Every structure is written in structure tokens, then in C-alpha cells.
Amino acid sequence: MSNLKITEVALRDGSHAISHQFTVEQVTSITSALNEARVPYIEVTHGDGLGGSSLQYGLSRTDELKLIEAAVGVADFSKISVLLLPGIGTIEDLKVAENLGAKMVRVATHVTEADVSKQHIETAKELGMETVGFLMMSHMAPVEKLVEQAKLMESYGADVVYVTDSAGALLPHEVKERIKALKQELSVEIGFHAHNNLSLAMGNTLAAIEEGATRIDGSVRCLGAGAGNTQTEVLVAVLEKMGIDTGIDLYKMMDLAENIVAPILPQPQEITKNSLTLGFAGVYSSFQVHANRAAKKFNIDSRDILVELGKREVVGGQEDMIIDVAAELAKAKSLV
């Protein structure tokens, strides 16, 4: 399977894990090393995509446009990708990113809201960008609905459509069902993005590959929201053992993970009680940091907040609900 391509997401998804504090120097050094290891795509934006720096989603330490420009400046092999969530990022943001040298955009919507991606996907194609439809929280829709929404993205011009396990809630058989269905119904490439909240990121990724997914996300040193994503350097090693050539230099990925990324982690990426709760409750992985802050403010258990958010089927873009839920739980606790 020589057509398998990996997108490194540590400089976007990993932004959540470090509260969006990446510096130009960090992005430059990581991108340079990834480029040297010959990683095909590197995603660089705020964790919530273009325009994500805000009080609601978290303020970036460095303007993401400067980070994109820095990454482009040191990548002569790797293509720099950006994430765009319609309603957060705009078409103008996309045009600026493309002008800075971004070659791919992943237009992300909730799994049932692909229709809001139409103008963004079409504009990206007009700009000559490789364009990906990114269906987030894919565990929240039945397979038939997922196929319907994926077909919309394909009809708008997407070159690839992703099954995105934003909560790390899918089980391997559920991943297989979804990838198989999209392979049968779509003519474009199918991708998969995992989170490790239930310790299933690698297993789910391999299940996706077995069913024909050819675009796979990884995060070096597991740097991503919640318990992180499929660990890129481990994935490269596993695929090599399976006889699948990714074209990525395994040793250089190991060195990058150990010597450059590990030192900037605030703590090791592991499955904590909170990240486990994310996967169990089916809650957006980036909610972990926000839930922790709300729990401290209202002196309640962050797990109760996450479970309640799961019951209410709160999705990305509704971060303001976290405070509301925490306040309600604290009030109810005081009445007991």
C-alpha cells in the first residue's frame, strides 16, 4: 500500500494540549525535522483551525499566520496544511493562508452539518488547494447519515473525506463499518483521524487502513487533544513491520519525538481519568482543558461535567456550554 499518506497534526491538534502556546521557534524546529523525515503533510493552525484564537476557544500565544509562514519557510518537501471550521474561520482567512503558502485545507464540520462546508470547499478548489472534507464527531451519526454527509462533501469538490473520531469514542468494528461504507459509496480517497482516549487510536487506525483508508493522521509523541492522537513515530514503525512503506524516515521521527517535541510537553500524553471520560462519554477531545478549568472554578468533579456534556450531545463550537453545565451541576450539588 504505497499510496498511504500521513498528515502530522501535532502543530494543530497538539495546540490544544499546550493551550495554544506554540512559538515561531518551536514550529520552525518541528516542521524542519518533520520535513527532513519526509512527512507528506504537516497541519499548522490554532487547535480550532483558522481564526480559532479567541476567549471562547483559547487565545494563541503567536498569531497563527506567523506560524504558518514559518512552517512554509522551512518545508521544501512537506506540504503545509491548515484546518478550517466554517463559522470560526472564514474564506478570507483561507485566502490569506493560501497566499502564505498553505497547499492543503481540511474543512471540518460536525458529522451532520456538511452542507455548511460548500462555499469553503469550492473556494479552496478555486485557489488550487488540495481539499479535504473533515467530518468531526463521527461516532454521533449512524453509518447511513455519515455516507450522506460524505457524499455532499465529495459533490462540493473534496479530494478526500475523513472519518474523524474527535472524541476517541469509536470502537474498531465501528471504524471498519464507517470506512467500508464510504469506500463503497464514494470515489474519492477516504481518511481517518483518531484520538486515544480509550487507548484505541492505533487499533482504530489499523482497522481503517485494513478497510481501505489511504489518508491517515498521526501526532508525534502523541501530542494532541485529550489523550492525543495515533502516535506518528509508532505508526510508522508498525506499518513498516506490516510491509507498508510510508516513505517516512523512522529513526528521524524517533529522534524528533525524543529530542524536540518531548521537552515542550507540559506533561506526558497519557490516558488520565479526564481523557478516559472523554472517550467514554463521547465528548469532543478539546473540551478536557475547558472542563478542568470549570471544575476548579465551581469546585466539582470535571468528570461529571464531561458526562453531562455527553448526555446533552454538546459538540465543538459549544464551548460556552461547559461553564453553563458546570454552574448547573454546582447549584444542584449545593442543594443536596
Which of helix, strand or coil describes residue 187? coil
Written as one string, the DSSP assignment of 19-79 is TT---HHHHHHHHHHHHHTT-SEEE-S-TT-TT--BTTTB--SS-HHHHHHHHHHH-SSSE
| 139 annotated ligand binder | no
The question of whether 16 is a catalytic residue gets the answer yes
- C-alpha cell read off for 171: 470502537
Residue 34: CB partners within 8 Å, gap ≥ 6? 8, 42, 75, 78, 220, 256
What is the chain's Cα-based Rg? 19
Pairwise CA distance, residues 218 & 193, whole Å: 8
The answer on whether 284 is annotated among ligand-binding residues is yes
Q: Where are the alpha helices (DSSP H) in 186-215?
A: 201-210
245 is in an annotated binding site: no
Q: Is 178 annotated as a binding residue?
A: no
Does residue 166 have a known ligand-binding role? yes
Nearest CA-CA partner of 99 in 116, 75, 78, 124: 124
Query: Cell numbers 478550517 label which residue?
Result: 84
d(CA 6, CA 224): 15
Residue 193 assigned ligand-binding role: yes
Grid cell for residue 203: 487499533
List residues forming the annotated binding site for substrate.
Answer: 12-13, 166, 193, 284
Can you say which residues are annotated as belonging to the binding site? Answer: 12-13, 166, 193, 195, 284
Catalytic residue positions, numbered:
16
Indicate the annotated binding residues for Mn(2+): 13, 193, 195
